[in-house]
Amino acid sequence: MSRKRWLALIAVAMLLVASAAINVATATIFSESSAWGIPGGNQWDETIVERGEDGSGFIALLDVNGVLQDNGETGWLQTSSYNHRLLLSQLEHAAKDPAVEGIVLRVNTPGGGVVESAEIHQKIIEAQEEYGKPVFVSMGSMAASGGYYIAAPATQIIASPQTITGSIGVIMESINVAELAENYGVKVNTIKSGPYKDIMSATREMTEEDRAILQALIDESYDEFVSVIANGRGMAEEEVRRLADGRIYSGAQALELNLVDQLGSLDDTIVAIKDYLGADYSVVQYETSLGFPQLFSMSVNKMLSSEDELAGLHRLLTEHRAPTLKYLYTN
């Protein structure tokens, strides 16, 4: 690797440390002032995308894009399109805002973490049951696995005929390189407090006892997934289990199986929620602000993406590498 790239690696490492310190030091400033493009202390702007005739309230439009994963990134170093903490705060804000009459979620995700999906699901339930806000889901090109999990409790689900949805189930994966390491004479020394402390280790074969423990975790999360769909869609548990074998469905197939309520676009979803509410409210989209922190983040992302080594360093520093339970569609 060239001297120039080594210097760039060092610069990025220093930048990561410095930005974390700056983020803490300026948190109070950004939470109390809109001078940097964060109105009311929120990390998003509220933009009218469709003006209605009834000015007594509005419909909040939120986007759910990307893998549902809370990687701890902040506005300063946000490298993925999905920001879990931001979405949760948007859902909570829309639920509590007395001016919001209803919520539309535009979902375009293959799913993600079990915990993250459950947290979004809970916010949707709270918006409906505690604050009386109907939540309509508009499925984009993909709303699979965890994407369907968060859609299940919605007041109505509207999908495109070509939407990829379903993939109802739980997955946990790891890679085992024990044989490869042995072939190359690599030995791994592990000191552990119990026989299962290194379960799913990449450097030893999985035992039947290991598999039984992990399968129990998978089954528990799967049962929760089935329950969420049965309750959200008003379906018998046996029927849900018949459909929930991990396969994907098109939006048209999902309609026939009662997994969605109708076929249509985002515009159709907005029309549907207005009809449900009985009023022509304006639609306000929550969009990420482009204040100084976000512009800083974009600059860092551009620099990281320009060099494979830099991107690799960032992933190494920010990603959690351990296998986790996921409601995730993979292909």
Pairing of strands 262-263, 156-159: parallel
Q: 80, 112 in Cβ contact below 8 A?
A: no
Q: Tokens representing 180?
A: 């490869």
Question: Which positions are annotated as active-site residues?
Answer: 145, 197
Name the residue among 56, 28, 77, 20 with its Cα closest to residue 295. Answer: 77
DSSP-assigned beta bridge partners for residue 144: 166
**To 10 degrees, the CA torsion angle through 114, 318, 76, 283?**
-20
- 17 exposed, middle or buried (CB, 10 Å; 0-12, 13-18, 19+)? exposed
DSSP-assigned beta bridge partners for residue 61: 104, 285
Task: Round to whole Å and give the CA distance between 124 and 42.
Answer: 19
Instruction: Tell me the C-alpha to C-alpha distance, in Å, between residue 218 and each of 140, 151, 229, 234.
Output: 28, 21, 17, 24
Name the residue among 39, 42, 16, 109 with its Cα closest to residue 310. Answer: 16
Q: 164, 141 in Cβ contact below 8 A?
A: yes
Residue 156 has φ and ψ, to the nearest 5°, of -145, 145
Look up residue 110 and give its amino acid: P
Look up residue 37 and give its amino acid: G
Determine the number of helices (DSSP H) and then strands (DSSP E) in the chain: 11, 11
**φ/ψ bin of 158: left (φ > 0), alpha (ψ from -120 to 50), beta (otherwise):** beta
Q: Tokens representing 51?
A: 């003006």
